[in-house]
Chains A and B, each alone.
Chain A
Amino acid sequence: MGKTLFDKVWDKHVVDTVENGPQILYIDKHLIHEVTSPQAFNELKERGILVARPDKIVATADHNTPTVNQHLPVKDALSRNQLEQLEKNCKENNITLYGLGHKYNGIVHVMAPELGITQPGMTMVCGDSHTSTHGAFGTIAFGIGTSQVAQVFASQCLLLQKPKSLRVNVNGKLKKGVLPKDVILYIISKLGTNSGTGYFCEYAGNVFEEMSMEGRMTVCNMSIEMGARGGMIAPDQTTFDYVEGREFAPKGKDFEAKVAYWKTLKSDEDAVFDQEYSFDAEDIEPMVTYGTNPGMGIKVTEAIPETDDESFEKSLQYMNFKKGETLIGKPINYVFIGSCTNSRIEDFKVAANFIKGKQKASNVNAWLVPGSQQVAKQIKEEGLQEVFEAAGFELRQPGCSACLAMNDDKIPEGEYCVSTSNRNFEGRQGQGARTILASPLMAAATAVEGKIIDITKHLN
C-alpha cells in the first residue's frame, strides 16, 4: 500500500516508538508567542532543565499586542508584563525574537511563511491551534498546549499517537466571488466541527492546486475548526516559487536539492485514507456563518436552517437570529479584515479591488489589521493604503487583534461583526459580540453597504 503525504513526512521524523504507546516525533521548527509560552519557560526553570535546541525556535509577539501606537509602551500592565516576560525568556535562552516594532514582527502564522521559516516536509508546532496554517506548504504543522511547549523546549520532540488520515477533494471550477475562505467554510458547514477530530487532513483536487499559497494557508488554517489537528496540501511549483528567495529559505544548490526532495512529497496513487470526502467546486458560493461555531455556515443566499436542537437554539438566541431567515439585508456596524486566516497581502488586494472608488457606509467601523510588518509594508508600497484611506477604512498595525480580542480591539456587546477571522464563538471578539465569519470580499462589501449583501449580484 502506498504512503500518504502525511505518512511520508511523519515517518521521516519518528525518533523512536514506545511499545504499545506513542511515538517520539522530532520537531524541526517551534514557533512561540507571548501567551502560551511563559508557563512553559517557568516549568523548565523550576525543574532545572535547559532549552534543548534554541536555534530551532522562533518567537514573535502577536496575540496580546496593541494595533495602534506600537512605538509607545504598552498601556495595559498585564499585557506589558507578558511581552516583557517573552523578551526576557528569549534573551536568557538565546531564542530569536521578532518583538513588537521589529521589521519581521507579525502574527506567528503570517510571519513564519513569509520569511521562509516554513518549508515543505518539515514538522512544525506552536502553542496555537491555527498552526495548521503551515500545512499549506506540505508541512506537518499543528497546535499544542503549554505542557507540550515545555516538552519541545526540553527535548525538541513530542510524544504523539499517529493520527488517522483524511482527504478532502474539491474539483471543478470555482464560481466568481468564491474565495478560499468560502471553500473552507463550505467544507466545515458540510462536515461539522468534529468531523476531523483524530485525523490529519489532506486537501486535494484542482481547486487547491490552482490556489495561491495565501489561499492554501487560509484553507489549512481552518482545519482545526472541523476538529482536525492539521491540514496539508502537497507542495508543487506554486509552493517552491513562493519559498524561493525568502529570507530563511535555502539558497542556490541547497534550494535545488531541497526542491528535488520536496517533489517526492505527495500521496502515492495507491495510498488509502481512513476517511475521504469529495465536493464539487460548482456547488460552493460565498459563505457566511449565522451561529456560534464555524460549522454553522450557509451560502449567503440561503436561509438559516430550521433545526430543532437545544444547543442550536441557544446559539441562535445568542446571535439574535431566527430559524428560516436570511442574513441578506442585516445591518452591520463592525467589519474586521485580519487574523491568521485572512491578513495576507492577497486578502487586502481583494478588499481593495472591491473598495476602490467606493465609500465605507457611515454606520460601519471597518478595521483592517495586516498580519505582519511585511504585509503592512506591501500595503503601503502597492498603493492599497490610499484606497483604504480614501474609502474611510481604518488601517491599523499588525497583530491578532479583534480575532480573539485579547487587546483593546473588542467588538461591543450585542453588535454584529462581519469578520475574516476563524471563530464565531460566543464572546470571541468581545463580551456579547456576535461574529459572522466571511471572506475578505464579503467583509469589504459589508463595510461599503453597511449591511450583508448578496455579493454575487455586485460583481462585474
Chain B
Amino acid sequence: MEKFEKLVDTAIPLPVENIDTDQIIPARFLKATDKKGFGDNVFRDWRFHKDGTADSDFVLNNPKYKGSVLIAGDNFGCGSSREHAAWALAGYGFKVVVSSFFADIFKGNALNNGILPIQVSPEYLKQLLEEVKQNPSSELTIDLENQTVTSTVGEVEFEINPYKKLCLLNGYDDIDFLISKKDKIEAYEALV
C-alpha cells in the first residue's frame, strides 16, 4: 500500500445520500479476477446512459469539477461488502472521500486500499458541498498527521483509529502485522 501524504487538491461534489456500493460499481462488473480497471466503471450507471453515451448532467462528466477528493452525502458506501467499490474509487483517482457518515465495511475496505474516509459534521458537509459546487477551483487540504481538513469554509478535525492512521502514514497493511503475531495465534489454537 502507498503511503498517504498530505494532500492539497480540488474536490468533486456528489450530494446524494445513501450511495451504495452497487452504485459505486454495479455487480455486472465484478467478474474480473484482479483489481485493475474498475476505475473505468465507477458510478457507471450514473455516468453513462444505457447506450454508452456520457450523461452530461452527472458531476464526473462536468469538466468544471476535478480532483482526488470526493464529497458525498450521508451514509456513503452502504450495502455490499465488495471491495471492488474501493478499487473503483482508487482506480478513478480518488484518495479521499468526505461524508457525514460512512458504512462500516466500506470504511474498512477504503482504509485497506489507501483511501481516507473522512467523517465531518452534517453542517460542515453542507457548507463544503455548497462551496465546492459554487467554486470548483476551491482547494481542500487534508492533513492526516494532524487529522485536519482545511477549506475556505474552515478547518475541522476528524477522527481515525490510531492503528489505521499509522498504517496509512507508513503504507503498512494488516497482513504483515497478523503474520508477525503467528506465535500468539498458535498459542491460542493450542488452548481451544
Binding site for B on A (CB under 8 A): 12, 15-16, 18, 20-22, 24, 26, 35-36, 38-39, 42-43, 47, 49, 63-64, 76, 78-79, 81-82, 85, 127-129, 131, 143-148, 150-151, 154-159, 161, 193-194, 197-198, 224, 227, 229, 292-293, 310-311, 314, 404-406, 413, 423, 425-428, 431-432
| Least CB distance, B157 to chain A, in whole angstroms | 18
Q: Which residues of chain B come closer than 8 Å to A292, judged between CB atoms?
A: 18
Q: Chain A nearest CB: distance from B137 CB in Å?
A: 25
Asked if B162 contacts A431 (CB within 8 A), the reply is no
Q: Please indicate the chain B residues that have their CB under 8 angstroms from the CB of A155 in the complex.
A: 175, 178-179, 181-182, 185
**Nearest Cβ on chain B to A429's Cβ, whole angstroms:** 9
Residues of chain A within 8 A of B20, CB atoms compared: 293, 423, 425
Q: List 30 A-B contacts (CB under 8 A).
A: A15-B184, A20-B163, A22-B161, A36-B81, A38-B34, A49-B175, A78-B31, A79-B31, A127-B81, A143-B105, A144-B81, A145-B82, A147-B109, A148-B112, A154-B175, A155-B181, A157-B181, A194-B75, A194-B103, A197-B75, A197-B102, A197-B103, A197-B104, A198-B104, A227-B104, A311-B16, A311-B17, A311-B73, A404-B80, A413-B50
Shortest C-beta distance, B100 to chain A (Å), equals: 10
Restricting to B8-28, which residues have a CB under 8 Å from any CB of A? 15-18, 20, 22-23, 26-28
Are A42 and B34 in contact (CB-based, < 8 A)? yes
Given contacts A24-B184, A64-B31, 18 further A-B contacts (CB under 8 A): A21-B163, A24-B181, A36-B82, A39-B83, A42-B33, A42-B34, A49-B179, A79-B31, A143-B81, A144-B81, A145-B83, A150-B175, A156-B189, A229-B105, A293-B18, A426-B45, A428-B22, A428-B27
Q: A64 to chain B: which residues have CB within 8 Å?
A: 30-31
Within 8 A of A (CB), among B40-92: 45, 50, 73-75, 78-84, 86
Q: Which A residues are CB-close (under 8 A) to B83?
A: 36, 39, 127, 145-147
Judged by a CB distance under 8 angstroms, whether B6 is at the interface is no
- Residue in chain B with minimal CB distance to A196: B104
Q: Quick one: which of B26, B78, B80, B175 contacts A151, CB cutoff 8 A?
A: B175
**Cβ of A222 to closest chain B Cβ, rounded Å:** 12
User: Does B35 make an interface contact (CB < 8 A)?
Assistant: yes
A159 touches B174 (CB 8 A): yes
CB of B188 within 8 A of CB of A15, answer yes
When A and B form their complex, what is the total count of cross-chain residue pairs whose Cβ atoms lie within 8 Å?
A: 177
Is B173 at the interface (CB under 8 A from chain A)? yes
Shortest distance from the beta carbon of A100 to any chain B beta carbon, whole Å: 15
Q: A15-B188, A16-B181, A16-B184 are in contact. Are A432 and B161 (CB under 8 A)?
A: no
Interface residues of B in 140-192 (CB under 8 A from A): 161-163, 173-175, 177-179, 181-182, 184-185, 188-189, 192
B136: CB under 8 A from chain A? no
* Chain B residue with Cβ nearest A226: B78
A406 to B30, Cβ gap below 8 A?
yes
Taking a contact as CB atoms under 8 Å apart, the answer to whether B27 and A405 are in contact is: yes
A165 to B188: give the CA distance in the assembly, Å. Answer: 25
Complex alpha-carbon distance, A404 and B163, angstroms: 35
Residues of A within 8 A of B86 (CB): 145
Q: B78 — which chain A residues lie within 8 A by C-beta?
A: 193-194, 227, 293
B98 CB → nearest A CB, Å: 16
Residue of B nearest to A12 (CB): B192
Chain B residues contacting A405 (CB-CB under 8 Å) are 27-28
CA distance A198 to B102 in the complex (A): 10
Q: Are A159 and B177 in contact (CB under 8 A)?
A: yes
Residues on the B chain within 8 Å of A413, using CB: 50
Q: Judging by beta carbons under 8 Å apart, are A129 and B105 in contact?
A: yes
Q: Is B101 an interface residue (CB 8 A)?
A: yes
A159-B163, A194-B74, A428-B22 given as contacts; is B174 within 8 A of A151 (CB)?
Answer: yes
Instruction: Give every chain B residue within 8 A of A157 (Cβ-Cβ).
Output: 178, 181, 185
Given A159-B178, A198-B104, A293-B18, A15-B81 contact (CB < 8 Å)? no
